[in-house]
Amino acid sequence: MAIPTSSKIRILLFEDNLADANLVSEYLELAKLDYEMVVAKRLNEGLEKVRSEKFEVILLDLSLPDSKGIATLKTVQDSARDAVIIILTGSEDEALSSAALQAGAQDYLFKDKLNGEVLRRSIRYAIERTNLTRKLENHATETEHREALLRHIFDANTDAMLILTPEYEIKFFNPAAATLLEADEASLVGETFPFEVSTTQISELEIPEANGASRLVELSAADLVWEGEGALLVMLRDITQRRAAELELKREKERLSVTLDSIVDAVIATDQSGAVERINQEASRLTGIAADDATGKPLSEVLRLRNPHSGERIEDPLKDLLRSDFAEVLAKEGLPLERVDGNEPLLVTAEMRCILDDGGKHHGCVTVLRDITKQKKTEEELFKNEKLNSISLLASGIAHDFNNMLTAILGNISVVRMGIDEEDKNAKKLLAAENAALQAKSLTQQLLTFAKGGAPTLEVTTIDQLVEESAQFILRGSNVKCEVEKKEPIWAVDADKGQISQVVNNLIINADQAMPEGGTITLRMANRRLRHGEVPTLKAGEYVCIEVVDEGTGISPENMKRIFDPYFTTKDEGNGLGLASSYSIISSHNGAMTVESEVGKGTRFSVYIPRTEKTEEPTPSPAEEAGKKEPEKIHQGGGRILVMDDMEAMMMVAGEILKALGYEVEFTTNGEEAIEAYKKAKESGNPFDAVVFDLTVPGGMGGEEASNILIEYDPDLIAIASSGYTTSNVMSDYKNSAFKAVVPKPYRIKEMSDALNRVLQK
């Protein structure tokens, strides 16, 4: 019989005598065993090896120097539970031998009687006995475990369970069966089960109760081996409550049917397979399918929804609408609904709830739809205004810093140009640099139109001539012609002519670029009386309407949602500010801008500006004033000027400009310093003739607050506001402030000389 191992037998020999260890090794060689032996001279040394390595056989000498006799065997067993232990000893101690075997050793060998055959046989038998013992122990343990598990399952199961002989004699039943049958073990075991049992089908029984009522029970059975013999496992399930729940569910469906016909929202009821059971009138209107045609169809054929994010068709509404992550988001955003009758799609919210019984069984779903098409359009208009308010914070910071930088550039260039002859070889280069900086100024101006500081300077004006002139100027050299339609005199409005001109320029440029092959732009101007709700976000009243209509490529539905977003553009060389700033300009004029477009047919932008309620005469148009302008002139002056600006480069360029104009200059970086310097100079008898204050000082007092304080101190204060951005209206309406003039950043030497000359002359 082969030793049951597929690899070398690892043997640990506890032996302090080298000669005895060598002798054991020789015997193992003679026994022709495939082994690997490790020798431990001390008990502790061997225990360390047992804990770190695996051994199949341990040959243990109980007479080691640190051995404790039979207790040593117990110590080794605790450390090497899976190993076979054979005792080796030099003395024939029968009592010790018996004790070792009782303590768990597999054999007991005397060294003086040891040879290869004895050692081989002892190791082989020890391993076989150990394997057999372990198999028996495992089998017994498994059998006990299975019986205990089966009984535990029976006892824990809430369904009644009985075990019957083939003759229906009751051999065992669980507590649930005792409760259901109202009996105990003594009265049931050995009795005959009174009902017919089938292992192939489920039947229902009515079991009477002591109180005169009865229970409805579902009976099923299966073949079983119990205590080594064939038996029947009978399971009884009380379905009384389930039947009552089903009846209640039927009544609930009837109530639901009545409810569906009475509510105003669109409701679609589906059965457990996903087919439409009922659809109310509002749902029929939204989906575009009659109730009779919808009944019995899969929900996906009636409810043709699309994912608003991906644009893909929702193939299984029953699955996707029940996903919490999907339903919560899309119920708020709305879902595009394609109508079965082919009419224009709608935007709806969709919520789904399933009908479940007490056991959690699915009995269908109810889907509630609400048409939010009109509501969403109004919300989008309001949201655009909110987005522009948010982006204005970013635009304000950019405009402020950019204008300061441009002022430093323009100011230095203008100072240098003033000091050289126009025929100088560098004059043209400086002029080109100045023109480039002025072009950059126009970009900053677009940022300012939708920043909070870009408030319009409103005045009563008629804008029809302004609009026509702007269109004609933009289309010079273009292959696109412009036709103007105006059937009546246009009402006057409160407007910033420069900003309105910018709006028209942007719309005409867009229309021109939409027709690369040429075409016609129709520019319509008319007086309109709007009813409430006719244009979203506008109240009822009188408005001047400007329409720019092109015959171009049109705007896709995807881009229509974003055309007024800052920095959104489909053009390779565009910056995405044109329409955004135009939208902001018209909003700041208390008006509105709308757009309609069809791909391949063209686009129409409509601008609405409220009619003025003032009675003063409109200001003349730029064309009427063109001939009145005087040639540019740099005004020299004299006196002391106080400059306040938080940016060092700005103070430097302002100082250069003022010195070039003939003034003495002193600098401060914030409002507190400026107030202190002004008072000190006045009290010392060497006052400032004028102050030039920046309005915005991050983290400190700005020019507006400082000027308000100083004018209380000195009513004769001559203050000039200079800013590229501010949240106040000083730059557009300085006459109602402490300032006598404004010089918008970026500026050249001419703008500063004009302002100082004007205020100091007075």
Chain segment 23-68, per-residue pLDDT in tens = 888 888 888 888 888 898 888 888 888 888 888 898 888 878 887 7
Give the CA-trace dihedral at 449, 455, 459, 460, to 10 degrees: 70
Burial class from Cβ neighbours inside 10 Å (0-12, 13-18, 19+) for residue 586 reads: buried
CA–CA gap between residue 314 and residue 317 (Å, rounded): 6
Work out the burial of residue 7: count CB atoms within 10 Å of its CB; fewer than 13 is exposed, 13-18 middle, 19 or more buried. Answer: exposed
pLDDT digits (tens, 9 = 90+) for 246-257: 888 777 767 766
Read off the pLDDT of residues 352-371 as tens digits, 9 standing for 90 and up: 888 887 777 877 888 888 88
Asked if residue 706 has pLDDT above 50, the reply is yes
Task: Find out whether 152 and 144 touch, Cβ atoms under 8 Å.
Answer: no
Reported confidence tier of residue 548, pLDDT bands at 50, 70, 90: very high
Residue 546's pLDDT is what? 93
Please write the tens of the pLDDT for every residue from 252-271.
767 766 666 677 788 888 88
Q: Does the pLDDT at position 610 exceed 70?
A: yes
Give the contacts of 85 (CB within 8 A, at least 6 positions apart): 57, 58, 60, 73, 76, 77, 104, 105, 106
pLDDT at 705 over 90: yes
**CA nearest 514: which of 600, 640, 456, 610?**
600
What is the pLDDT at residue 625? 46
**pLDDT band per the 50, 70, 90 thresholds, residue 391:** low
Q: What average pLDDT does range 132-143 have in this prediction?
A: 73
* Closest to 442 measured CA to CA, from 488, 485, 498, 396: 498
Residue 547: per-residue pLDDT: 93
Q: Is 5's pLDDT higher than 50?
A: no
Q: What is the DSSP letter of 634?
A: P
Q: Which pTM does this prediction carry?
A: 0.39
- Report the pLDDT value the prediction gives residue 719, as an integer from 0 to 100: 93
- Topology of the domain comprising 157-238: Beta-Lactamase (3.30.450)
Amino acid 147: pLDDT? 67
Check for a shared fold between 9-136 and 640-761: yes
Domain segments of the chain as ranges: 9-136, 157-238, 243-371, 459-621, 640-761
CATH class of 640-761: alpha beta
Domain 9-136 annotated CATH 3.40.50.10860: no
Name the helix (H) or strand (E) containing 610: strand 602-610
Q: What pLDDT does 2 receive?
A: 40
Specify the DSSP element, H or E, that contains 236.
Answer: strand 229-238
How many Cβ atoms are within 10 Å of 67's Cβ, its own excluded? Answer: 18
DSSP assigned state of 103: H
Residue 16 phi, psi (nearest 5): -95, -10
pLDDT at 406: 76
Fold of 243-371: Beta-Lactamase (3.30.450)
Structure confidence at residue 443 (pLDDT): 61
Residue 731 has pLDDT above 80, yes or no: no
> What does the buried/exposed string (b/e) look like for 594-622 if buried means 16 or more CB atoms within 10 Å of the residue's CB?
ebebeeeebbbbbbbbbbbeeeeebeebe
Work out the mean pLDDT of the chain and round it to a whole number: 81
Selection from 146, 191, 183 nearest residue 164 by Cα: 191
CATH of the domain spanning 459-621: 3.30.565.10
* Model confidence at 459: pLDDT above 90: no
d(CA 679, CA 687): 8
Query: Does residue 243 surpass a pLDDT of 70?
Result: yes
Which pLDDT band, with edges at 50, 70 and 90, does 717 fall under?
very high
What whole-number percentage of the chain has pLDDT above 90?
16
pLDDT for the residue numbered 626: 41
SS3 251: helix
Lowest mean pLDDT among 48-62, 424-438, 675-689: 424-438
List the single range of 91-100, 104-113, 499-508 with lowest mean pLDDT: 91-100
Q: How many CB atoms lie within 10 A of CB 737?
A: 19
CA distance 386 to 398: 19
Q: Is the pLDDT of residue 578 over 90?
A: no
Short-list 150, 174, 186, 171, CA closest to 236: 174
CA diameter of the chain = 139
Q: What is the pLDDT of residue 350?
A: 83
Mean pLDDT of the region 727-743: 81
pLDDT given at position 252: 77
Tokens of 527: 């007086």
pLDDT at residue 549, as a whole number: 92
